[in-house]
Chain A
Amino acid sequence: MGGILVIAEHRKGDLLDVTWEILNKAAVVSESTGQRVTAVLAGFNVRAMAEKLAGRAHKVVVVDNPELANYNYEVYRDVLTGIIKNLRPVLILIGHTTTGMDLAPALAAHLNIPLATACIDFSIEDGKLTAIRQMYNGKVNARVCFSSSDCYMVTLRPGSFSVETENAWGGEIQSISLEVEKPSGIKFIRSVEAALGEVDITQADILVSVGQGIGDKKNLQLVEELAALLGGTLSCSRPVVDKKWLPKERQVGSSGKTVKPKVYLAIGISGSFQHLMGLKGGTIIAINKDPRAPIFRVADYGIVGDLFQVVPVLKEKIKSLK
């Protein structure tokens, strides 16, 4: 009874980084509280992943069943409800991924467990759980507490903790066979991958990336010219795609592409969590009129100013350096 339950997430036979990140954090909390860490792995043909998880948890509970081959809320709810009622953990951790967002709120309500979502950290001190969560486009953080309960649930943003660890616990693997009922209301049909576009922004050394601040499709010309001048590629954040100003293939972020250019020039991009998830390495330069835009918290260099004033002058300066 008790302990910390980490719900492992995987796609195409690989565990997601967020699972390793959460296990790292769980290990730290385990050390200070004495709570044991159990990873739950639900899926089909997942033995190899279970063995990997065993190095990072005291115990791995595996449910291997064809009905679990693809995520389906109905099936996962029933399976996890059974496991949670059986193990009675004090804390359940899930990634704040699209799966975590779909699963955690309804599951927590189903089991009447207090839940905080979109958290970037949590701690247990003197038996009291507090979590830090993001609000208002990531411009404000909230420290939240929970009313007294036997069990709590927290979803954690990907990238909140390190993936790397030196732990090698060699936990026990416990396979449980459960009657898994066929879902009656939700039917998985298939997964579709994003169509290959004309432009592959993941291969670009220089990305000139534009966000909502550009205001209108007709203003794109300004940044297109800058990209051309730099021999770079034009990319963008989600709002620009939502408004159909640029095609999806140009989108940097968790629902778009993950990029690793040498230079990333973020113009009029506020830097939502989802956008920053797609940005791995390189020199990040931000131009934004809001000094508190989250993009400045990750940028190496920044200009606080109106892009419509800054970019035209910048273009002239670049021409003169060529």
Chain B
Amino acid sequence: MDIIVFVKRVPDTSEADINISPDGLHIIEKDLVFDINESDKYAVEEAVQIKEKLGGSVTAITLGTDSSEDVLRRCLATGVDQAIRLTDEAFRDSDACGTARVLAAAVKDLKYDLILTGVQANDDLQSQVGPVLAEYLGLLHVTVVNKLEIDGKIARVHRELEGGVEDVLEVRLPAVLTIQTGINEPRYVSIMGIRKASRLEIKVRNAADLSLSPDGVGQKASQVKIEKLFIPVSNKATEILTGSLDEMTQKLAGIIKEKGGIS
């Protein structure tokens, strides 16, 4: 089973203070910590586990500048066999369709039985690239997969719905599956492992290598464009407690009691 897994380097914004750049179109990346996108991490683990069970190979591909190589090194340290980075000034500010066009061009000459990626990238939250890629490759897709078994030319998957419900589906391979967090337990990758992987080659491909016309990718080809980013404001009057730790917790305990939380 030859598997391609698409990964993305994203900033960890869960606890970080986010600020918007003066042009209003990007966030300020300085001071943010970047890592592999959460659901992509699970997709890589799933791909490597399938390879360990059934044999074959795993190729990790990312679209990004040279700072994205860290993410590919992490993939190599996880057990991925080959890593490819797609980069070109022409790819900059592609929308989901532009990105999917680049990825489709990148896999055109590769051998694969299965394509995996994460459910969504935590930076732009689009959940689009996986299924759009499938459409461009003439393949079927299943999104939000939280269980996956390969049975010959069929993948038997559980697709997570709302409220704890799951649909069990069978999909003919090759197909594109988007992997949900929690499907497996991603292995621990040691610093040593990543250091060892730093000696492995990462192939780099640009628009010309992929025979991609710049017309179909990048900002100019985007059908959906960001006009402006802004920090949402709350319309709820939240009372943020102030004072010393002692005062704040005293007030909070009083509120909990008043609301029926202490019997």
Contact = CB atoms under 8 A, between A and B. Distances in A.
Interface of A: 11, 70-74, 97-99, 101-102, 105-106, 108-110, 114-118, 130, 133-147, 149, 184-194, 205-206, 212-213, 230-232, 238-239, 241-242, 244, 248, 254-258, 262-263, 265, 270, 283, 285, 289-293, 296-305, 309-310, 313-314, 316-318, 320-322
Contact of A257 (B141, B164, B250): B164
Contact of A144 (B20, B224, B256): B224
Interface stretch (B76-84, B188-196, B200-208, B230-238): B230-238
A189 B248 contact: no
Looking at chain A's contact residues, the main secondary structure is mixed
Nearest to B234: A297
B225 A254 contact: no
B135 interface: yes
Pairs A-B, 10 closest by C-beta atoms? A194-B164, A242-B182, A114-B223, A317-B253, A297-B234, A106-B131, A263-B261, A105-B128, A189-B168, A109-B135
Given A106-B141, A109-B97, A231-B263, 18 more contacts: A74-B140, A98-B162, A109-B131, A118-B126, A134-B125, A139-B231, A143-B229, A145-B225, A185-B171, A189-B167, A230-B256, A255-B161, A255-B163, A262-B259, A263-B261, A285-B256, A300-B238, A310-B248
Given A192-B166, A310-B245, A146 B18 contact: no
23 contacts: A98-B143, A105-B96, A105-B129, A106-B135, A108-B132, A109-B131, A109-B135, A117-B126, A135-B125, A143-B227, A145-B225, A189-B169, A190-B167, A213-B15, A248-B164, A254-B163, A256-B164, A263-B260, A298-B234, A301-B238, A301-B255, A313-B246, A321-B254
A297 B162 contact: no
A115 B135 contact: no
A187 B142 CA distance: 11
A193 B249 contact: no
Contact of B229 (A135, A187, A254): A135
A98 to B, nearest CB: 5
Contacts of B227: 130, 142-145
A301 B144 CA distance: 34
Contacts of A291: 240
Interface residues of B, number: 85
B142 A141 contact: no
Contacts of A297: 232, 234, 236, 238
A91 B252 CA distance: 48
B229 A140 contact: yes
B135 A317 contact: no
Interface centre among B230, B231, B241 (most CB of A within 10 A): B241
Given A232-B261, A317-B250, A191 B17 contact: no
Given A102-B131, A105-B127, A185 B254 contact: no
Contacts of A309: 245
A299 B248 contact: no
A132 to B, nearest CB: 9
A142 B17 contact: no
Nearest to B144: A98
A153 B8 CA distance: 25
B9 to A, nearest CB: 14
B74 interface: no
Interface in B1-55: 11, 13-18, 20, 27
Contacts of B15: 213, 270, 289-290, 293
Given A101-B143, A105-B132, A317-B250, A116 B170 contact: no
A194 to B, nearest CB: 3
Contacts of B240: 291, 296, 301-304
A235 B245 CA distance: 25
B80 to A, nearest CB: 21
A265 B252 CA distance: 11
Contact of B236 (A115, A258, A298, A317): A298
Contact of B260 (A262, A285, A303, A320): A262
B148 to A, nearest CB: 14
B164 to A, nearest CB: 3
A72 B172 CA distance: 13
A234 to B, nearest CB: 14
A147 B223 contact: yes
A193 B222 CA distance: 40
A115 B127 CA distance: 11
Contact of B136 (A109, A138, A192, A230): A109
A136 B245 contact: no
A145 B175 CA distance: 31
Contact of B18 (A99, A255, A292, A317): A292
A114 B224 CA distance: 7
B256 A265 contact: yes
B164 A118 contact: no
B261 A206 contact: yes
A185 B225 contact: no
